[in-house]
Amino acid sequence: MRRRALLASLGVVGAGCLGGPLSGDGAGTTNPTTAGDIPDCPNFDDERPTVCAGTDDRFSLSGPTTVEPGEHVSFVMTNETDARFSTNFYGYRLHKLVDGEEYLIGPWVVPEPLYHLDSGASHEWSGNFSTSTTDVEHSPEETERAWFNGLGGGRYVWTGTGWFDDDGQVRVAWPFEFDAEPLSPEPRELSTEREGSTLIVDAGGGTGNGATVTARRAGDAASDRRVIPEQLVRFPRLRNTIPRFEDGIEEVELRNSTSWGLGVRRSNSPVVVAYQGASYELTAR
């Protein structure tokens, strides 16, 4: 079974990918990591217990504590129990930790086959992380390769979920630092036209195709969600509207948009997004 699912609204990615405490040698020049090296284990707001390095002896995993842009990294998980662990090797997730909150970077859509990690077996994910803002709409196509573009410096956490037959789901979290400059995403180079305080942008989907997305300054309106730069760069309906606001621009109209973006759909009510201290209301028609 290799169906694809839209997971942004579900809060899960397949059956999960990692499952237990993380310890061992890091990738590249990373030194062996112990429980004392992993501060501030994230506390995700759902029913799955979250474990970080040293808090559970059912698993071991090697991974980096600091990652440089372009550096090749790997995460290797080993099932240290006598039981089978059920998981989804496509279902890893990357979050960024900002002001005590976890922000999903991706993947947002994954294949959902069920895999098993037998007693004593290991699985490795490897790839690299980059600051490049091209090719950012990431969807896993291999069970052993993991890569992310469009990342700024800061603290991230690699997570996944799985379960033993006689136990509930568990989330494993592996925090690490990405040593890079802050991300400042720019909109893509598209055709624009100014009409008074409105900026009209052609998304390039072809006349009459796709939706028209309108973004307006929302003042002090309560936001439905906060978006960080590493999220905005992944959703063209946000990336091609919000960063275009400047003095004198009160509205950005993105025409012929065939992409998607965090609930900004024709069938939905307006979405108010908070981004870097300002709020914007987005609608699609």
pLDDT in tens, 19-43: 333 322 333 323 333 333 455 678 7
Tokens of 213: 């997305």
Q: Which domains does the chain have, with CATH numbers?
A: 4-178 (2.60.40.2550), 191-284 (no CATH)
Indicate the pairing of strand 251-257 with strand 198-202: parallel
pLDDT in tens, 217-260: 998 888 888 999 999 999 888 999 999 999 999 999 998 887 76
Residue in 102, 228, 226, 80 with CA at minimum distance from that of residue 158: 102
Q: Whose structure tokens read 């069920």?
A: 114
Of residues 71 and 43, more confidence is placed in: 71
Look over the chain and give the mean of its residue pLDDT values, rounded to a whole number.
79
